[in-house]
Structures are given as structure tokens and as C-alpha cells.
Chains A and B, each alone.
Chain A
Amino acid sequence: MSTSSIARRKAPVAAPPRQNGGSKRENPMSRGAAMLIMGVFTLYFLTPIWWLFVSSTKDVGEFTTTAPLGFTADAIPNFFGNIGRLFAYNDGIFLKWIGNSVLYAGVGALLGTLFAAMCGYALAKYNFRGREAVFNVVLSGVLVPATALALPLFLIFSQIELTNTYWAVFLPSIVSPFGVYLARIYGSSSVPDELLEAARLDGSGEIRTFFTIAARLMSPALVTIFLFQFVTIWNNFFLPLIMLRDQSLFPVTLGLYAWNSAIGQNPELRSFVIIGAFVSILPLIIAFLSLQRFWSGGLAAGSVK
């Protein structure tokens, strides 16, 4: 509730200021050109997804024999047939992978957001020695690519015998330096010191203050962090690739990659890879659409502050 009202309140500020006196009317030519460019790029980005959708309604033979972007006559029965075979193949391993991805990304993003929020809030609202040093270290974490850390992580996890377990993928996923950065920036501007003072005077403990007041005020940023983290973990494939050997632990990205690389041995997998890829982006689309309101509000608010 409160999140949407904040977003709404911010909206007028985020919108571009009205032109004064209309001295600079917008040129219809440039407007048209902009629309054209936007249209071309939209097409450019959506075509592969359209292809994926269309392809998932074809049976194996039709991939190579029919028009790549047009539906075939029996698209609908084929689509359901394909989905059925996909989920039935190899004792339903695909459903397991989707479930794993939801678990890794869902729980990982939730905890990652919580930790980032607490850390960012602490850095924003408490004065302590070494605060800037801590922040800079966290910030430098943003610069290190996750792939560069995968191998050292593997060697460390090998020492404590945690490779090829759920934890090997989950533990590194709940760390989000970028989230800490965003939470600090947003927290320092959106949570007034006076409010915290008042809460303390009323006898609220620090932890209670954080969850009942600060976290709510920061919620647009938290939704942003959650989405970022969710997408990052969902798409992360290098870490699971290095850590996991047991296919019942695979996230869907790694599973599809493994199938794709085995097409040489079993060409039938080709259709499963395509349909599986289509199914695997659905949860991401759902997450984006359902959180879109908070997400766009959060982004705009961050940029103005």
C-alpha cells in the first residue's frame, strides 16, 4: 500500500517539466523519427521471442521445413503435445529444474534483498569508524565480475565439501554489492533522521525501527533490488556449471545448456531445448509484469533523488 502511494506521489516530479510558453514546440519530424527508431528496436528485441514462441508450436520435422516466423496449421495441439513431452522426458527432470530455479532465485533474491537493505541502511544511517571504508569495499565488489569469482569459490567450497550441493549455488547468490549500494543511496534520502529520532524517543528498538519504518520507506528500492537479484540468479549459469554435477540440483539455465550441448548424441533434444527455453522465460515475464508498478516507480525515484 504505502509503496504505491509513494510511487504515485513521486510521479509528477519524475515527469519532464512542462515547456514554458510553448516557445519550443516539438518537431513532428523528429517525433516521427524517434517513434520509427523505437519501433525498429522493439521489433529487433521481440523477434527472437516471437520466433521462440512460434517454434515451440512446431513438431521436430517442422523446424526445418516451415516458415520460421509463421504458425503451422496444427500449432495448438503441437504446442500442448510438445509441453507434455518436455515435462515427461527423463522422469520429468525439466519440472525439477524449473522448481530449482524458482527456489534459488526466489529465496536467494529475498534473502539477498534483506541483507542488502540492512547493510545499506546501516551504512546510510549510522555513523561509525570505517564506514566509508566498508562502503568502498562493498562498492568495489560491484566491479568484480561474478564469473571471475566462480573458480575461487569452487576451490573454497571444495575444501569444506560443499560442492555439488544446494548451498554451493545458494550461498554466493545471497550477496548483492549493487543492492547494498542502491539501498544506501535510497535509504539516506528517503528515511528522514527526524523520523528515526522520534521512533527512538518512543522507545522503539533499532531492529523494530528498521522493519516497521525504514524498510517500508525504502520499499521501492527494495523491489528494485529484489528484481535485479532475481533476474541475476535466474540467469546465472556459470556458477552452477562449475559447482553442480547432480542433475537433480540443476537450475533450468544449466539444464537447457547441457541438453543443447548433447544434441549431437540425441537430436531429439533439439525440440526440448527450444520449448524449454520458451517455458523458462515465462516466470521472468510474470515476475516483471506483476512487480512492474513498483519497479518502474522505484527506478524513477532513485534517479531523481
Chain B
Amino acid sequence: MQRKFKTVAMAAAVVSSLTLAGCATASDDAAPGEAAGDCAPSDGPVELTFTSWVPGMDKVVELWNEQNEDIQVEFQTGPNGNSGTYQNFFNEIKAGNASDVGQIEYDALPNFRVQDGLENIAACGDILAAGDDFVDWTWSQVTFGEDNAVYAIPQDSGPMAMYYRADLFEAAGIPVPTTWEEYAAAAALIKAEGSFITNFPKTDVNWFAGMVWQNGGQWFENDGDNWGVELTSPESIEVADYWQALIDNEEVSALASFSDEWNNSFDTGQQWTWISAVWGASTLSTGAPNQAGNWRVAPMPQWEAGGEDAGNWGGSSTAVLKGSDHPYEAAQFALWLNTDPDALAMANELGGLYPASKEGATLPAFTGESEYYGGQKIYDVFAEASANVIPDFLWGPTMTQTYTDVSDGFGTVLGGSGTLADALAAGEEKTIEALKAQSIPVQE
């Protein structure tokens, strides 16, 4: 009832603004009711709620509250998105009491978009113009490539590079690989030394997606109406076959990611490289404390010599959730959160976030030398990687499901049967089923 009334009122408002104001704001091709036109500041003081699971975000919110007496933000928290907070968002949207602002990872955004859980904030002040302040690929994640649409503000990103043991490579006289071909050759030599070049993470399917991303592959396509699923695109299969060979030759280990054994294998020199995201820097320094000074960072190995492509693993955005009473103020808060130098510095120090804003990469935290990495300025490598991430990678609307299915398949491969390519094919099939089950149109 209430919602219906709101829609009617909104439609009426749009129509009247069109006729009276002579079509000043709304875009011509937007459907009535969801026009990105009616986003005006509220009168009087505003109270917003913001939900995030990043440690220290409550302190950042305190900073905002000190500076903005008229827009007070109440901080709310919970577990990491896929561990419960996303489900909570959906429940709250259904119940009509969702947070005004919520943290959502890029790979979950399409799910919220498809289920109509996001406000289009393109017309809320100068949001649309803010696009230039963010790294290109992160901005296309929040606009879905649509015109006159912004569904969230990019927060952090996870450009990938190669962490490697400079000391071991040097002692063994093996050159640090710059291409995937060299990487495979090094893997064989390292096996002969009794160690592994790296660990294959069977449960981190989004890591694998980062590899496909680097190779110029896509897993999903959307033409505005239909979704295409391409887990078995040639680029994807190329990556799968590559890692399959390393697994078959037993040149990579198969430990559970981020487990004690996994940390231990890094700490005792059994792993020589880790292809990971920028946030992995602290994972490594905490998990492998005995190797301080021995690790370095280099760009990811390339498929073609001389290339510069990088993948991305992780990253999130700050979205204005459907049903917010104050989308204008919510959007301003989200923009401040992800562009203000003090806010970004705090989010990095307390929560380990690597900003998606271009300016953010010039923060003191990212220009200095890293003690653990032997004094290397590792963030220079990541800043370059960030600029080289292919911009238009698209996530599907049922990623959690896809991750589970592919990860099950990967587990079987490491158990000794089937191939990674089989797992991707099975994942593709199940993803198509899942989309159909949710009445999301699929092109086949």
C-alpha cells in the first residue's frame, strides 16, 4: 500500500516537474518513476544510517558527524557482506527499513541492481561529475555502463600484482618471471628445489576471475535486457588450462587459503610467489612474520611479453539503498567517504582499504617505503596495476551461487578428477539455471 502510494506520488511529481519546469532535470529516455531527476536536498536536519563491516569505519563516521551537524550518520555494522550483511540488506529492503547507505562489494552490486535494491543517485548534486575522480574500471562497476546512472560510489579496489621471494629466486639463480610462460618454467625449477611456486586457491573463485579479467576475458554480458553467461569463453579456458597444467605437474600446492597451514607454508619458504591483490600486503606480513624483508612486489606475469594488463581481486562500493528517505544527503555522505583525504587515510589505516579514488593513491600511506618488503615502494606497483585493470569487466547477478558451484568443481579437480575447464562448464550451466530460477532473462 505504502509503496504504491509512494510510486504514484513520485510519478506525479515527475510529471508535474516535467510540465512545469520544462524538463529541466530528468533525462528524456528514463522510464517514469525511476527518472534520475527527483533528488533534492531535504529540509532541516537529517539523520542517516550507514552499514559497513570494515574495521574502523565507525571512527570515519565520527569524523563526518563532527564536520556536518545537519547530517548526522548513525553507524551500523555486521559481518562481511557474503557472511550475512547482504542477506540482511535484502531483508531490510523487503521490510522497508534498510540503511540509507550500505557497503556492497562490486561482485554483489549486479544482484542488488537486478533485485531493485539500489537508488540511482546520478542526479543527487554533482555525483555524475565525480566519475572523473575515480579509477576508470571502478566507475564502470557502479554505473553498469548505463547513461545518466550511478548506483554507488566506488570505495576500494584490489588491483593485483605478484608478491615474490626475491632472496630465494636470487639464491637459486631463477629469473623472476614476467610472463606466464616464464612463470610455468620457474614453477618446474622451483619444484626441483622442493618448494612450490604458489598455492592454487580452490575456494577463491574471485581470484580466478581476476586471472580471467587480466586475460581480457568476461564471465558475464548484459545488453540491457538479457544476461549472457560465458564462464567458458576462450580467455577463461586459456587460464583454466594453464593452471590445470601446473596442478597436473604438482607444481602448486592445494592448501586452504588463509588457513594456518597456508600461512605457515608462506612463512617457512615453501611458497615463492603469491599473485594477489593490494590488500594481500598485510595478510602476508601478518601471516609470514619470519620472512620480513625477503618479499618484493612485481607486476603480474603477462600473457604476452611486454604487456601491462592487471587483474583485480576484491573491492567494494558505498551504495544508497532503495527506500532511503534522504538520497541526496546519503549520496553526499558516500561521496565524502570515498574522496575526502582524511576519511580515506583513516579507512586505510584502520580498515586496510586501498582507495578507488585517483587522489587516494597519492596519500602518504601509499607513497612511502614498506619495511616488510625490504623498503620497496610497493604501492607504486599497485597504482600502476590499478590503472591497467581492464575497465569493463562485468559481474553476474548470482555471484555467490556461481562461486559455490565453481569452487565445488575446483575442489574435485584438486582431489584428482576432472579439469578446471569442466568445473567452469558446470558452473556456467548451473549459473544459467539459477538465473532462470530467479526469472532473470538469459540469452543462450
Q: A60-B286, A68-B260 given as contacts; is B91 within 8 A of A151 (CB)? A: yes
A151 and B289 CA atoms in complex are apart in Å by: 43
Taking the closest CB of chain B, its distance from the CB of A136, in whole angstroms, is 31
Chain A residues contacting B350 (CB-CB under 8 Å) are: 266
> Which of the candidate stretches B9-17, B93-101, B333-341, B376-384 sits at the interface with the other chain?
B93-101
A63 near B260 with CB under 8 A, answer yes
Chain B residues contacting A254 (CB-CB under 8 Å) are: 79
Chain A residues contacting B94 (CB-CB under 8 Å) are: 155
Cβ of B242 < 8 Å from any Cβ of A?
Answer: no
Find B53's partner among A63, A155, A258, A268 (CB 8 Å cutoff).
A258
Closest to A156 in B: B95
Interface string of B79-94 (1 = CB under 8 A from A): 1100110001001101
Interface hits, B52-90 → A, CB 8 Å: 53-56, 58, 76-80, 83-84, 88
Chain A residues contacting B351 (CB-CB under 8 Å) are: 265-266
Chain A residues contacting B279 (CB-CB under 8 Å) are: 264-265
The main secondary structure of chain A at its interface with chain B is helix
Query: What total of A-B pairs shows CB separation below 8 Å?
Result: 101
A182 and B88 CA atoms in complex are apart in Å by: 35
B76 near A245 with CB under 8 A, answer yes
Chain B interface size, under 10 / 10 to 19 / 20 to 34 / 35 or more? 35 or more
Find A270's partner among B49, B83, B92, B286 (CB 8 Å cutoff).
B286
Closest to B263 in A: A64
Please indicate which of the listed interface residues B88, B266, B350 has the most CB atoms of chain A within 10 Å of its own CB: B88
Interface string of A155-168 (1 = CB under 8 A from B): 10011010110000
A267 and B78 CA atoms in complex are apart in Å by: 17
Chain B residues contacting A270 (CB-CB under 8 Å) are: 286
A65 near B55 with CB under 8 A, answer no
Find A158's partner among B53, B79, B96 (CB 8 Å cutoff).
B96
Cβ of A269 < 8 Å from any Cβ of B?
Answer: yes
Chain A residues contacting B352 (CB-CB under 8 Å) are: 265-266
Cβ of B353 < 8 Å from any Cβ of A?
Answer: yes
B286 near A246 with CB under 8 A, answer no
A219 and B96 CA atoms in complex are apart in Å by: 45
Find B51's partner among A155, A158, A245 (CB 8 Å cutoff).
A245
Closest to A238 in B: B84
Chain B residues contacting A265 (CB-CB under 8 Å) are: 53-55, 279, 351-353
Interface hits, B85-119 → A, CB 8 Å: 88, 91-92, 94-97, 99
A258 near B78 with CB under 8 A, answer yes
Q: A151-B91, A257-B83, A261-B83 given as contacts; is B51 within 8 A of A269 (CB)? A: no
Closest to A270 in B: B286
Chain B residues contacting A261 (CB-CB under 8 Å) are: 53, 79-80, 83-84
A79 and B94 CA atoms in complex are apart in Å by: 46
A5 and B96 CA atoms in complex are apart in Å by: 56
Chain A residues contacting B79 (CB-CB under 8 Å) are: 241, 254, 257-258, 260-262
B267 near A163 with CB under 8 A, answer no
Find A65's partner among B92, B258, B267, B314 (CB 8 Å cutoff).
B267
Chain B residues contacting A269 (CB-CB under 8 Å) are: 55
Closest to A267 in B: B286
Cβ of B33 < 8 Å from any Cβ of A?
Answer: no
Cβ of A130 < 8 Å from any Cβ of B?
Answer: no
Interface hits, A158-214 → B, CB 8 Å: 158-159, 161, 163-164
Chain A residues contacting B268 (CB-CB under 8 Å) are: 65
Q: A247-B77, A262-B80 given as contacts; is B283 within 8 A of A267 (CB)? A: yes
A241 near B287 with CB under 8 A, answer no
Cβ of A37 < 8 Å from any Cβ of B?
Answer: no
Chain A residues contacting B58 (CB-CB under 8 Å) are: 247
Q: A154-B95, A264-B279 given as contacts; is B54 within 8 A of A258 (CB)? A: no
Closest to B268 in A: A65
Closest to A159 in B: B95
Interface string of B30-62 (1 = CB under 8 A from A): 000000000000000000010101111010000
Interface hits, A47-66 → B, CB 8 Å: 60-61, 63-65
Cβ of A102 < 8 Å from any Cβ of B?
Answer: no
A74 and B197 CA atoms in complex are apart in Å by: 34
A64 and B260 CA atoms in complex are apart in Å by: 6
Taking the closest CB of chain B, its distance from the CB of A66, in whole angstroms, is 10
Chain A residues contacting B263 (CB-CB under 8 Å) are: 63-64
Q: A164-B76, A258-B53, A258-B79 given as contacts; is B286 within 8 A of A268 (CB)? A: yes
A257 and B287 CA atoms in complex are apart in Å by: 20
Cβ of B264 < 8 Å from any Cβ of A?
Answer: yes
Closest to A250 in B: B77
Instruction: Contacts A60-B289, A258-B77, A265-B54 known; list 7 others, CB within 8 Å.
Output: A154-B91, A242-B88, A245-B99, A264-B283, A266-B282, A267-B286, A270-B286
Q: Which residues of A are at the interface with B, using a C-beta cutoff of 8 A?
A: 60-61, 63-65, 68, 90, 151, 154-155, 158-159, 161, 163-164, 241-242, 244-247, 254, 257-258, 260-270
Counting from the closest, the 7 A-B pairs by CB-CB distance are A245-B76, A261-B80, A61-B289, A158-B95, A267-B286, A64-B263, A261-B79
Q: Which residues of B are at the interface with A, using a C-beta cutoff of 8 A?
A: 49, 51, 53-56, 58, 76-80, 83-84, 88, 91-92, 94-97, 99, 258, 260, 263-264, 266-268, 279, 282-283, 286-290, 314, 350-353
A-B contact pairs, 8 of them (CB 8 A): A64-B267, A64-B288, A64-B289, A151-B91, A154-B95, A245-B51, A247-B76, A269-B55
